[in-house]
Structure 1
Amino acid sequence: MKHHGVICLTMMITFASACDRIGKADIQQEGAVGTKKSSTEIVLTPSEQAEAGIQVEIAAPTDQPETLEAPGRITLADTGTWRIGVLTNGRIEKVYANLGDFVREGQILARMHSHDVHDARAAYQTSRSDLTRAQAAASLAKINYDRAQRLYSIKAGSLSEVERARQELANAEAAVRDEQIEVEKERIHLEGNLGVTADPGPEAGEEEADLIPIRAAGSGYILTKNVTPGTVVDPTKDLFVIGDLRRLWMMASVNEANIRKLRVGQVAMVQTKAFPSDSFTGKVANLSPELDPVTRVMRVRIELSNPSMKLRPEMLANARIAVGPSRSVLLVPSGAIQQINDSDVVFVRISEQRFEARPVHLGEMFNGLVVLLEGVKSGDAIVTRGSFLLKSQLLKSSIESQ
Structure 2
Amino acid sequence: MIRPVQAGLAAAVMAVAVAGVVSRPYLWPGGGIMHARVVEQARAEQATAAIYYQDPDGKPFYSLTPKKTPDGRDYRAIPRGDDVSFDDEPPQQNAAAAPAARKIKYYRNPMGLPDVSPTPKKDSMGMDYIPVYEGEGSDDGSVRLSPGRIQRTGVKSEPAARRVIRSTVRAPGTVQLDERRVSVIAMRAESYVQKVADVTTGAHVVKGQPLMEIYSPAVSSAAAEYISTLNSKVTGGGEGPYGKGSRQRLMNLDVPEAAIVAIEKGRNVPIGIEWTSPRDGIVLERNVIEGMRAQPGEALFRIADHSVMWAIIDVAERDLGALAVGQRAVVRARSFPGREFSGRINVIYPQITKETRTARVRVELSNPDLLLIHDMYVDAEIETGRAEAVLTVPESAVLDSGSRQAVLVDKGEGRFEPREVKLGHRGEGYVEVREGLAEQDAVVTSANFLIDAESNLKAALKGFAEGAQP
Question: Normalising by structure 1, what TM-score?
Answer: 0.48
RCO higher in 1 or 2 (8 Å CA, sep ≥ 6)?
A: 1
With structure 2 as the length reference, what TM-score do the two structures score?
0.42
Name the structure with the higher helix share.
1
Q: Which has the larger radius of gyration?
A: 2
